[in-house]
Amino acid sequence: MEEVAIVGVGNTKVGEWYDNSLRGLTDEAIAKTLQSANISPKEIDATFIGSMSPGLFNQQEHISALIGPHSGITAPALRVESACASGSSALRVAMMSIEAGYYDTALVIGVEKMTDLIDIGDVTTALGTASDGEWELGIGATFPALFALIMRAHMHKYGSTLEEYASVAVKNHKNGSLNPDAQFQKLISMETVMNSRIIAEPIRLFDCSPVSDGAAALIVTKKDLAKKYTDDPIYVKGTGAGIDHIAIHNRKDITTLESTKRATKEAFKRAKIKIKDIDFIEVHDCFTIAEVLALEDIGFCEKGKGGKFSLEGETALNSTISVNPSGGLKAKGHPVGATGIYQVIEVFKQLRNEAGKRQVTKNDIGVTHNIGGSGATSVVNVFSRGD
């Protein structure tokens, strides 16, 4: 059991916010978060910001100094980057700083403003820098292409089907339709997914998460200070991180995310839980194949059966295991460096029975699973209502 609690959260709606900025989005998320925890800027001892590439998306590095002082927070700040797992990684660093006794209370922010780049090709290239620049992006292998290779290999090795993958998108859009902060709140059919245009065969448009803008934040504090800020703190039971080769050609088996297995093992060990203890989970479904891999590699079903598990409805809201009640990256949206914090916020709300129409009924333990790149980095965090 870790020694920290989350006592307040805040975020912008995820979307394409052409009329807002990285600074404007974070201002909104910070203001909501401070209000949520009823805390003043002066009580923040440190700020940790997860963001994948403000340099490429917004021509702005050093956002640790941009964001805090702008909101009246003069505490030391730094940015943490692990591609799309930047948000979760920032939370891990914040936890370490508190558990090491450096700080009592930290603000953790995740932000990505992806629509400042006008050309979608530039966005794809910026995202591609999370792969191996020389051996993947440099030869034209964008992320849809990399996940297409993984998906095809999975179909070949395990016989997974296009229907199975489509079911992931349909389920996540259904959940997203119940989330007022989601980028997409419309139901879609299996036909919509399976007839959508091909991006990188066998991946179609509706297998992909969107380009998104968003900022999300939370306040993390020492366990024994938590009740000062809220009657209903959420505790981090365990955290785990894992790594693998950045380029998929260097991995033992491209249909398995070793980093997820490593992160899961560490997180479960620290949290002293088993897979069956988990009531719901937010997994990293940047593409439908990624959710299938997550189901298998975290351990909800047998290897190779993730798609079937999804198609049979075992991952729907309040079924066997509620997967991505928020709508996931697919429907809630995927502002890359912010995603890990959005996931924690969903778990925070679900555990506190504040998730409205998408509220899960079993909610003692919730988990987040956040990956970077094509899965070279994984972070898994376990949360609970009880201390």
Residues that bind a second copy (CB under 8 A): 21, 23, 52-53, 55-56, 58-62, 64-66, 68-70, 74-83, 89, 92-93, 95-102, 125-126, 129-134, 137-138, 241-246, 250, 262-263, 372-373, 376-377
For a second copy, the closer CB: 213 or 279: 213
* Number of C-beta neighbours around residue 205 at 10 A: 15
* Tokens matching residue 75: 């505490």
For a second copy, the closer CB: 129 or 192: 129
Q: Which of 84, 208, 286, 301 is catalytic?
A: 84
Q: What is the 8-class DSSP label of residue 367?
A: E
* Cβ pair 220, 95 in contact under 8 A: yes
Nearest-approach distance from CB 83 to a second copy, in angstroms: 4
Q: Which of 154, 173, 284, 334 is catalytic?
A: 334
Q: Which of 331, 350, 178 is nearest to 278 (CA)?
A: 350
* Tokens matching residue 156: 């070949």
For a second copy, the closer CB: 39 or 80: 80
Q: Mark whether 249 is an active-site residue.
A: no
Q: Mark whether 334 is an active-site residue.
A: yes
Nearest-approach distance from CB 175 to a second copy, in angstroms: 28
For a second copy, the closer CB: 74 or 361: 74
Nearest-approach distance from CB 313 to a second copy, in angstroms: 34
Who contacts 169 (Cβ-Cβ below 8 Å, separation ≥6)? 188, 193, 206, 207, 288, 330
Nearest-approach distance from CB 296 to a second copy, in angstroms: 21
For a second copy, the closer CB: 243 or 273: 243
Q: What is the CA radius of gyration of the chain?
A: 19
Nearest-approach distance from CB 322 to a second copy, in angstroms: 28
Do β-strands 105-113 and 46-50 pair in parallel, antiparallel, or remain unpaired? parallel
CA distances from 23 to 10, 60, 117 (A): 15, 10, 16
For a second copy, the closer CB: 150 or 376: 376
Nearest-approach distance from CB 78 to a second copy, in angstroms: 5
* Cβ pair 14, 214 in contact under 8 A: yes
Query: What's the gap between Cα 169 and its chain centre?
Result: 16
CA distances from 305 to 151, 256, 314 (A): 13, 12, 11
* Cβ pair 326, 214 in contact under 8 A: no
- The residues that are catalytic are 84, 334
